[in-house]
Structure 1
């Protein structure tokens, strides 16, 4: 998905200290979303929890939009014209609806509930996303992963994967990236990552063994969920620092609860995020924008979309500065 804000802000920030000076585990950090309209007056509105002032990254996860349930008869659904990406991978995961994906690699695929579409931008790629006529309710998440410096200019790529459900006592998991509860995704990433959908039965509790070298984020889609002793409401993202080998989830609702679990080792690099580009310097962003506006071969062409491509917004009248999460105390 494109960040279609016409005046996108530089997407940077940092976090508060994650552990106190005694070494005790800090409570879960609750990140609240902000509403972002994508396009015109009938456009979808997404709830964005990454990046924000409290936190830029969770592992290499650097962008999280949560949308729906969206009645496409009212909003018009999703119709994102050809647009570029650099320095990242996009992760598309749906709960309901269907999206048609086309990219400059020549990929033509459908995004359906429970199926992962992962696209690697690397040096440059362009794509479109359009909800299909069969879609009545659109509901899902769009996530970005920052590529590490050594792979930032890798070749464009596209992967599709349908994870098998894993049934545990009181929960069902679908692991689309990384490994959890014995399930392993074959999808290639450039840093260790975890991505999973977890559906909890009413009033169920679940303790998961997780990689203690990972920091984790729990994005609540529906239900009232507790991570450890911290309550999270729908659309909130709970951050858990690395050092924890287990993750306790509880559904306090009378109905099912659904979360998306994200994880990865702390990303030790500073990044610049602006519009649909991730770089390391202001000049990286300027160059990518110019290449897109000049329609160079860097991004290629998307075929099959009946319309014009998205123009790049005007850069702010300031130097974009690289940032990362602040160092630990």
Structure 2
């Protein structure tokens, strides 16, 4: 998925000096943005007060939207570098095409994991005949310096591991949660898990004390250590926890994101992750010049996106939090 902002802010991410050294409960504000022609999303990372959670650098939550009389998601070909995209659907279908020749219909409960590495381009569309509702999350994971030039690749996992216990059913998207590991390839210590809470659930989940975490409420309302978390909101949890108490009066879905605090500093602008402003400018120039670095997306009927103008000021470091 793309950041379609035509005036995107450049952000310097990473570094551990402003990572919480203990447990916190910070509600993160969301920004509503238009994605493509008709899909509105809630952007939760980066946002005021928090730019990263572990290696997670970008979180969009969308829906549930009734698209029975609308085209749904329509995102034209666009590039990525230095990151992984993690697509997670709760309702609907999304047609993924990329410059490697991947052509996949992604459905709820499946993991679409695209590693951009050196460079890739892709498109995402609701099919012409599609389910009534569209609901999901799109996430980016920063690649560490040692892996950021890896050859691009795409993984589509139709089934994912998980477990059910005491009113919660978990599905592990990335990394390892409660001893269960995702088949998706990760390049840093990380976790992503969907938590489906039954009505009346009151459970404790295990956490890694060295990880920092956040929880996104995909649907319903849950109480996190007595903090109310409503649909579309994200709660930053900090570090230092071994367990976390979750309660839900009615059924709710939560997305748990976490990982070791990301020590490296990096620059993120538009759909690129790099290490310096000059590097980002080079990516944008190459994309607009149709350089072979990003390839072409076959099968998409329409024009690709152009990189927006770079900001008139240098892309300077601003840290993990604002």
Partner in structure 2 of residue 22 of structure 1: none
| Structure 1 residues 17 and 262, CA gap change in structure 2 (3 angstroms) | closer
- Closer, same or farther: CA 281–17 of 1 in aligned 2, 3 Å: closer
Q: Secondary structure of 1:289's partner?
A: helix
Are 1:274 and 2:269 an aligned pair?
Answer: yes
Determine the C-alpha separation between the residues in 1 that align with 2:138 and 2:290. Answer: 26
Aligned-partner SS, 1:135: coil
User: Which of residues 232, 254, 262 in structure 1 aligns to 2:257?
Assistant: 262
- In structure 1, distance between residues paired with 2:70 and 2:60: 17
Distance in 2, Cα, partners of 1:273 & 1:235:
23
Superimposed CA distance per residue, residues 126-170 of structure 1 (whole angstroms, 9 cap, x where no aligned partner): 001011222321100000001111111111011122213411110
Secondary structure in structure 1 of the residue aligned to 2:76 = strand
**Using the alignment, how far apart are the partners of 1:317 and 1:281 within structure 2?**
15
Q: Which residue of 2 aligns with 1:294?
A: 289
1:85-124 matches, within 5 Å, as 85-124=80-119
1:193 matched to 2:190: yes
Per-residue deviation at 1:284?
A: 1.0
Cα distance change on mapping 1:289 and 1:179 into 2, 3 Å: same
The Cα of 1:241 is off from its aligned counterpart by 1.4
Q: When the two structures are superposed, what TM-score results if normalisation uses the length of structure 2?
A: 0.94
8 Å contact kept, 2:29–2:48 = no
| Root-mean-square deviation over aligned CA pairs | 1.9
In structure 2, the CA distance between the partners of 1:278 and 1:193, relative to structure 1 (3 Å rule), is same
Q: 2:27 aligns with which of 13, 26, 30?
A: 30
Q: Is the 8 A contact 2:196 2:254 kept in 1?
A: yes
Structure 1 204/264 Cα, relative in aligned 2: closer, same or farther at 3 Å?
same
SS at match of 2:161: coil
Aligned residues of 2:225 and 2:245 also touching (Cα < 8 A): yes
1:65-214 to structure 2, matched below 5 A, reads: 65-132=60-127, 133-161=129-157, 162-214=159-211
- How far apart are residue 235 of structure 1 and its match? 1.1
User: What's the CA shift for 1:207?
Assistant: 0.8
- The structure 1 segments of at least 4 consecutive aligned residues displaced by more than 4 Å after TM superposition are 12-17
| Larger displacement relative to structure 2 (26-35 or 167-176) | 26-35
Q: Which residue of 1 aligns with 2:234?
A: 237
Q: Which sits farther off after the overlay, 60-69 or 144-153?
A: 144-153
Shift in CA distance, 89/323, structure 1 to aligned 2, threshold 3 Å: farther
1:75-113 Cα shifts (integer Å, max 9, x gaps): 421111110001100000000000010111111111110
What is the rounded CA distance, in whole Å, between the counterparts of 1:248 and 1:122 in structure 2?
37
Shift, 1:189, TM fit? 1.0
Q: For the structure 1 residues 129 and 39, does the alpha-carbon distance in structure 2 shift closer, same or farther, using more than 3 Å as the test?
A: closer
User: Of 301, 304, 312, which aligns to 2:307?
Assistant: 312
Question: Would you say how many aligned residue pairs link Structure 1 and Structure 2?
Answer: 318
CA drift at 1:12? 5.0
Does 1:322 pair with 2:317? yes
Query: Does the Cα contact within 8 Å between 1:58 and 1:264 map onto a contact in 2?
Result: yes
* Structure 2 gap ranges (5+): none
CA distance in 2, matches of 1:189, 1:26: 25
- Kindly state the Cα deviation for residue 203 of structure 1 after the two structures are TM-superposed: 2.1
What is the deviation of 1:18?
Answer: 2.9
So what's the TM-score if we normalise by structure 1? 0.92
Task: Determine which of 43, 47, 52 is the counterpart of 1:57.
Answer: 52
